[in-house]
Structure 1
Amino acid sequence: MPWLDSDDFLQMIQRWIEESATGWQGDLPVLDLDRYFSPGPAEPLIIYDNLDKLNNKFVQLRREKTLTRVIGVGAIPRRAAKKLKSTRAFAYVTSIGQPEVPPRNWEDIKALLPTSDARAIDVGIREQRLSYLILKYERGGLEAVLTLRAWATKSGAITLAKVESASHSREALSLRAGPRTTELSNSRLVVIGAGAIGSFLCDQLARSGVGEITIYDPDEVRPGNLVRHLTSAEMVGKAKPHAVREVITSRPFNISTIIVKNEPAPTPREVLRLFVNADLVIDASAAGGTTALLAKAAEASGHHLLTVCLQEDGQVVRVDVVPPLEGPALPPTQLGPLSDRRDLKFEAGCGDPVSMTPPFAVLEAASLAARCAIGMLLNEPVCKAGIVRDYR
């Protein structure tokens, strides 16, 4: 923490300046060329997909409410941009390779470009037909993008200002899914129950890159479910598995195939097939009979079942591996006395009492089950028999 000492802090600043001037000798390959340009007037975030097919081309941008989107190749207009629709803008995409020192202005960048590109950009900016430069570059073998707003001043000089930009390509977005996404992409899972825990569990498994998820649940989304469920108000009345699939597959970076079964868990005759055709079956049904049936099927078929549930109104979070991968099974939870009937809450049209489990307990249970499931899929289990968190 060199900033705790003024002399150390000034020495670090001096080193940064020297390394920038000499081509970042000994510096980490941080993709930070935007730091060498001052910010201009507030601009919406610019987002783009893969730019490889757009290299050395004029592209059209569409301005939306909170962002500006690169929509593809577009011929630069023949008249000034100020006469165009306010929702459109144009940029030029090109590469400046791996600069030896960081560029700081248009003259620096122009020296890194082919003469024809530099001339086309220069004319487009001066005639107010081109508003942005999207520059691809490399540092230390890593690829990056620098986006700049460009305009000509009254004196004839071209001024550049940095603009925040980001990729929404599948490759860029998948970086945040975890280091084992490729391995998980070939996995097939079955999740029984798309209620509160099941919906968030399916969501986390899909975000992590699991290739195929089959969801069983016979119920539909009710307004009261929304407090603890993945889905939104627009999905009330839809079958829960269909609603969960709609949320997951709406993401641009989703790679999971979601198969929905708007029906209860398979019958005893069909249940063995689940374990044969899937890499892992997860029970999130919170139904004792279903859990018992799945447990018997797992034991009979030589497979393992992962069960997840909340007990004691969410004070106990429990994940069990049935049968255990190693050692004895976890002991049953010592439950407290049943609630007084006068304390039970009911919702009209629902025969069972409403669970008073808080939403944060649901998210914890789903996350814990996802961690255990992914560990089992990768043959790196984080638990042998299960995990219990008792907050009583």
Structure 2
Amino acid sequence: MTLTEYDDYVEYSRQHFEEGLIRAGFTEDDNGWRGTIVHAGGSTEVLIALRSRYPFQPPRVVPLVPDAVAWSWHRELDGSLCLVAGDDHEGLWWTEGPAFLEHVTAWFEQATAGWPDDRPDLDLDRYFKSSDDERLYLYDELARYPSGFVRFRPAANNTMRIGGGTRPAKSLKNSTDRFGYVANLGEVDVPPRSWGDVSARINPSVDLDRRIRNHAIEIVVLIYRRGSHDGAVSLEVWPTVDGGIAVRRLRSGADTDAAKTARSGLLAPELRGRRVAVVGVGALGSFITDILVRSGVRNLSLIDGDVVMPGNLVRHLVGPEAVGLSKVAAVTQHLVARSGIEVADITMIDHALTSGDEAVELLSDHDLVVNATADFATTALLHITAQALSKRIVSVAIQNGGTSYRIDLLPPLDGADPVPPSSFAVDQPELELFEAGCGSPISPTPPYAVIEAAAATVRHALGLLVARPLHPAGEARELSIGAVGIHE
């Protein structure tokens, strides 16, 4: 699409939408399109305005009489109707005038009904204008400060971290700390939009207004509840010259275990008690380990006898700071620093798996063993031991210079046939790159192949851990650019 074609598309979209409004009886003035929405609760005059980003942003709809419609979580701070949820990915449905007006009508009918079955989004932040302070304010478990005073202290990366404490009796010259109070609004049916709304909901014995006017409090952290969900918002407050109190929202977020694990997936609670061993934490095994931890696994054993070399870094999880460390130590260090797992929850075995006794112990002590060594002898040792113990391993290997991978459940479930040998065609130049100290050519496996194979391996591993396997034997997949082949 050329720039001219883009401009034509935008212009056509506007005209097409406005024609739909005209057919519905709307008339244009300097501020937008005026018309009446007839709904089950009566009729409401509204103003519809096409914003600058239209059609890639929905039109703005506001009642001509702001208080003609009850204020609720479904209205913006400026009084406009909240018509599109943040997770609405159904396309630009609002570009069709009739469909858009139907949506507006449905909004009014839901408002008349009191928003039954309302989704309790925790987005109180959007009802306050944002502060000029661009720092990120981090809070931990706010239950630690019930209706109590707090202090925010500067921390790394332009953040402010919460802690207990009240403002000292004497002013601390040049202090960079900011002092605040944690207040509980309880269940919030209608979002507050000003300090007056907030103050009316807070226990008057605290006398926050006086403390704010005396500059003893600069920040108020509000805890609130919607349905069965708890939310929080951090506000910056200060006295105005006319005796009022101004309020702006700060950029804030929870630094808690719950916040860090909420995006781990629905299986995370079930996985926390599982124990997994990863044999081989090179490029592939390191990413498998990382994804397991991010998915909720919190008890690991890592087995590898190699060290991190500079040439490993392009495909490995760890960075240059890990060069010279054993791979198990390097991966452990990375996980502890970035994923919140404790050192005590990771067992490091910095030598290769070679004996039957070790294999028996490994399989006996873990819910699952993942083999990422791509070593035939190690795979055979674990496979035979698993058969003897009526256990099962997941074994993965990237093949054909990184153009395919295979994942095997060994032995397969319920007597299923194993994944057949790969039949993917290999069409690549002869390898000629060698590195000192290596007895074989350097693998040309690209990083994307490592990460894709790791993700697929973890899917199979998690399926076994929660007794919902993806496939009884595993899978093989081609990874060449443009290829779509898969064997299961």
TM-score in terms of structure 2 length = 0.73
Which of residues 226, 247, 265 in structure 1 aligns to 2:334? 247
Q: Unpaired runs of 5+ in structure 1? A: none
Q: CA RMSD in A?
A: 2.7
SS of match in other structure, 1:62: strand
Contact preservation (8 Å) 1:24, 1:101: no
Larger radius of gyration: 2
Q: Which moved more, 1:372-381 or 1:347-356?
A: 347-356
**CA–CA distance in structure 1, aligned partners of residues 250 and 109 of structure 2:** 26
1:95 to 2:184 alignment: yes
Q: Unpaired runs of 5+ in structure 2? A: 1-91, 481-488
User: CA 1:26/1:6 → structure 2, altered by over 3 Å: closer, same or farther?
Assistant: farther
1:311 to 2:311 alignment: no
Contact preservation (8 Å) 2:409, 2:474: yes
1:37 to 2:37 alignment: no
Letter in 2 for 1:287: D
Q: Which moved more, 1:105-114 or 1:325-334?
A: 325-334
SS of match in other structure, 1:146: strand
Q: Which moved more, 1:296-305 or 1:331-340?
A: 331-340
Which of residues 15, 37, 51 in structure 1 aligns to 2:142? 51
- Give the corresponding residue for 2:419: 330
Aligned residues: 387
Shift of residue 227, structure 1, vs aligned partner: 0.4
Which of residues 164, 175, 189 in structure 2 aligns to 1:85? 175
Shift of residue 349, structure 1, vs aligned partner: 2.9
User: CA 1:4/1:135 → structure 2, altered by over 3 Å: closer, same or farther?
Assistant: same
1:383 to 2:436 alignment: no
Comparing both chains, which one has the higher relative contact order based on Cα–Cα distances under 8 Å and sequence gaps of 6 or more? 1
Contact preservation (8 Å) 2:424, 2:478: no
**CA–CA distance in structure 1, aligned partners of residues 106 and 236 of structure 2:** 29
SS of match in other structure, 1:135: strand
Q: Which moved more, 1:243-252 or 1:104-113?
A: 243-252
**CA–CA distance in structure 1, aligned partners of residues 101 and 129 of structure 2:** 22
1:71 to 2:162 alignment: yes
**CA–CA distance in structure 2, aligned partners of residues 138 and 337 of structure 1:** 58
**Deviations along 1:228-257, whole A, 9 cap, x unmatched?**
001111111000001111111123643682
Matches within 5 A, 1:1-392: 3-6=94-97, 9=100, 27-78=118-169, 83-86=173-176, 88-117=177-206, 119=207, 121-251=208-338, 253-254=340-341, 257-326=345-414, 327-334=416-423, 343-391=431-479
**CA–CA distance in structure 2, aligned partners of residues 166 and 20 of structure 1:** 30
Q: Which moved more, 1:350-359 or 1:248-257?
A: 248-257
User: CA 1:78/1:138 → structure 2, altered by over 3 Å: closer, same or farther?
Assistant: same
**CA–CA distance in structure 1, aligned partners of residues 101 and 170 of structure 2:** 50
SS of match in other structure, 2:469: coil
SS of match in other structure, 2:338: coil
Identical positions, percent? 36
TM-score in terms of structure 1 length = 0.90
User: CA 1:167/1:128 → structure 2, altered by over 3 Å: closer, same or farther?
Assistant: same
User: CA 1:109/1:181 → structure 2, altered by over 3 Å: closer, same or farther?
Assistant: same
**CA–CA distance in structure 2, aligned partners of residues 332 and 74 of structure 1:** 66
